[in-house]
A and B are shown apart, each in its own frame.
Chain A
Amino acid sequence: MSTSTRPGLSPTIVELGVRSVFGRRRGVLLFVLPLVLVGLAILVRALVGVDEDAAEGTLYGLGLVVVVPLVSLLGTTGVLAPEIDDGSIAYLLSKPISRHTIVLSKLTVATGASVVFGTLPMLLAGFVLMPGDPRFVLGFALAALLAGVTYCVVFALASMLNRHAVVIGLIYVLVWEGLLGGLLSGVRWLSVTQWAAAVGGRIVDPDATQDLSLGYALVATVVVLVGGTWWAGRRLRSFNIAGEE
C-alpha cells in the first residue's frame, strides 16, 4: 500500500485497474485481437509454409502496426478513461498519494495487458510462422514489447489531455501508423511502431541496413517513456474536476 507522497506502486490502484479493464465489455476485444493474429499466422503458415517475407508481412503489418497498438489503446484507456469520464477518479485523487503513483500503478496494469495480449501472442505467432529462427521470433517479440509499453504511455497521456482519447488513439494508430507510415518515409521519425521495429530489426538481422539508426530509435523511445510518464503524473496533479455546473 502506498501511503507516502513519494512515487511508487499502489496495489489497491492496480487491483482496481485490473477489474476496470476486464470488467467492461470492450475488455473482450483484448482476447479477440491476439486470437486474430495467431489465427492468421496459422493460416499463412498453412497456405505459404515457412516463408520469411510472409512471416514479416504478418508480424509487422498486422502485429506491430495494428494488434499491438490497439491492445495498448484498449488496456490504457480501459484503466483511465472510464474513471475520468464518470468522475469516479475523484476517489483516487482525494487521497494523500503521489499523482505519479496513480499514473505508475495504472500504467503497470496497461503494460501488463500489453505484454499478455500483445507481446506473448506475437511470440506465439512468430514461432508458428518461423519455428526454426529464434532470432527472428525474439526480434519481433522485443519490438512488440517496446512498442506496446511506449504506446501505453502515449495513450495514458492522451487520456489525461483529452476526453476523447479512444478516438484520438484510433485515428493515430490507423491513419498515422497504419496508412501514412506505409506511404511517407518521413513518418518513421515520429512513429512508435517504426522505432520499435528498428530495435527489433537489429536482433532479427544485425547486418541489415535500417532506415532508422538504432541510437535514434532507442533515445526516442526512452524520451517518450520517461517524458510521457512524468508529464501524465504532472497533468494529473493539476487535474481539474469541476462539479455539475
Chain B
Amino acid sequence: MSTIRLDHVSRWYRNVVAVNDVSMTLGPGVTGLLGPNGAGKSTLIAMMSGFLAPSAGTVTLDGDPLWRNQEIYRKVGLVPEREALFDYLTGLRFVLVNAELQGLPDPGAAAQRAIAMVEMADAQDRAIATYSKGMRQRIKMAASLVHDPSVLLLDEPFNGMDPRQRMHLMQLLRTMGAEGRTVLFSSHILEEVEQVARQVEVMVAGRHAASGDFGAIRRLMTDRPNRFVLRSADDRKLAGVLLTDPSVRGVRLRAEGGIELEASDFGRFSEVLPRLARDHGVRLLEVSPTDESLESVFSYLVAR
C-alpha cells in the first residue's frame, strides 16, 4: 500500500505556469486525473514520476521525495504517454530488459508473468516495430508491471486504442486497483474516467479544480447551466411555453430565427422539452447544445 502526496505543488517554465498550487493525496485504488489538453496533467504525472522537479511545494511517496531519488522506482511502475519504445527489440526482450534493470532475482519468470497479465504471450517474440498501437500500450504496461509495483502511473493510456483494447485495459486497471495498488491515470475524456476510477481529480489550466468520487464530479458537471439553440415550427409560442417551466432560466428569440435558451436543471429540461412541445402542438426541428465542449464544462468548475 503506497500513498503519493502533493503538497502545494507548483511548476512553471520561465513565466508560464503549468501547475499552480496543487495539493492532493493518492491512495490505493484507481484515481482518474481528468482535464482538457494542456491542463497540466502530464506535468503533474512527470513530477509524481520523479522526472521533473516541482518549482515549489513537495511531492512524496510514502514520505520520501520523488525527485532525484531513484530508489522510488522499486515501488513505482510508469507507463509514459510517448509512443517511443525500443522498436528493434521483441516484446519479450523489452519486458526482460526492464526486469533486468529492476535487478529482479528471476527476470525471465517476472517478464513472462507480466506478459501473461496483459495477454501478449502470442506476440511476445515479434519485434515491437510490428506492433499496433494497442499492443504497444500493453507491452508498455507489462514493462511497468514487471517488478510488481505498488504504484502505477499512466499518462493518457487510452489514447489511440480501439474499443476492445480500451475495455481490456480498463479491466486491467480495475484489477490493479482492487489488488490494493495505487493506480493513477490521466485522461481528457469524461466517460473513460467514469468507467474505471472511483476517485477523480480534475485539473483545469494548471489548477486543481475539483476532487471527489465520480458521482460528485458528475453532479457538479451536470448541474451547471446549459445553453441550447432550438428551432421549431413556432419559436415564439415554444419560447413562451418553456419559460413557464422552472428548469428554464431564460430564453431569447434570435433575429435569424430560433431560440436561445439557458437551462438551470439539465435533467429536468431534457424531459420537459419534448413533452411541452408535443402538448402545445409545436414541432421541434432542432435542439443543439452551444457549450457542450469539455473546456466549457471545466471552466464552469473552475469558476465555481
What is A's interface to B at a CB cutoff of 8 Å? 1-5, 10, 12-13, 16, 19, 23, 86-88, 90-99, 237-245
Contacts and interface: CB of A to CB of B under 8 A. Distances in A.
A240 B51 contact: yes
A91 B51 contact: no
A4 B98 CA distance: 15
B292 to A, nearest CB: 24
Nearest to A2: B103
A240 B101 contact: no
A95 B88 contact: no
Nearest 4 A-B pairs (CB), nearest first?
A243-B42, A3-B103, A86-B84, A87-B82
A88 B85 contact: yes
A241 B46 contact: yes
A87 B80 CA distance: 9
Interface stretch (B70-78, B109-117, B161-169): B70-78
A95 B51 contact: no
> Which of A1, A90, A94 has the most C-beta atoms of chain B within 10 angstroms of its own C-beta?
A94
Interface string B79-117: 011101110110000000110111100010000000000
Contact of A12 (B53, B74, B76, B100): B100
Nearest to A99: B70
Contact of B82 (A10, A86, A93, A96): A86
B49 A240 contact: no
> Which of B40, B50, B98, B103 has the most C-beta atoms of chain A within 10 angstroms of its own C-beta?
B103
Nearest to B13: A242
Interface string B30-49: 00000001101111011001
B46 A94 contact: no
A154 to B, nearest CB: 25
A243 B101 contact: no
A94 B82 contact: no
B52 interface: yes
A95 B86 contact: no
A90 B70 contact: no
27 contacts: A1-B107, A2-B103, A3-B103, A5-B70, A12-B101, A19-B86, A91-B86, A91-B98, A93-B70, A94-B51, A95-B102, A96-B70, A96-B73, A97-B70, A97-B101, A97-B103, A99-B70, A239-B51, A243-B41, A243-B81, A243-B155, A244-B42, A244-B82, A244-B156, A245-B18, A245-B38, A245-B41
Given A5-B71, A90-B80, A99-B70, A245 B40 contact: yes
B88 A92 contact: no
A242 B46 contact: yes
Nearest to A5: B70
A148 B44 CA distance: 41
Interface residues of B, number: 40
Contacts, number: 104
B84 A88 contact: yes
A-side binding surface: helix, strand, loop or mixed? loop
Contact of A1 (B37, B74, B82, B100): B100
> Which of B72, B76, B89, B97 has the most C-beta atoms of chain A within 10 angstroms of its own C-beta?
B97
Interface string B125-164: 0000000000000000001000000000001100000000
B100 A94 contact: no
A94 B78 contact: yes
A53 to B, nearest CB: 46
Nearest to A15: B97
B298 to A, nearest CB: 15
Contacts of A23: 88
Contacts of B40: 245
A200 to B, nearest CB: 37
B68 A237 contact: yes
Contacts of A98: 70
A99 B70 CA distance: 8
B68 A96 contact: no
Contacts of A93: 51, 70
A238 B73 CA distance: 15
Contacts of A239: 51
A17 B71 CA distance: 23
Contacts of B81: 243-244
A95 B107 CA distance: 14
Given A94-B49, A238-B68, A243-B45, 4 more contacts: A3-B102, A12-B100, A97-B103, A244-B82
> Which of A5, A88, A243 has the most C-beta atoms of chain B within 10 angstroms of its own C-beta?
A243
Nearest to B11: A242
A82 to B, nearest CB: 9
A95 to B, nearest CB: 4
> Which of A1, A5, A91, A97 has the most C-beta atoms of chain B within 10 angstroms of its own C-beta?
A91
A23 B155 CA distance: 28
Given A90-B51, A240-B53, A242-B52, A16 B86 contact: yes
Contacts of B143: 91
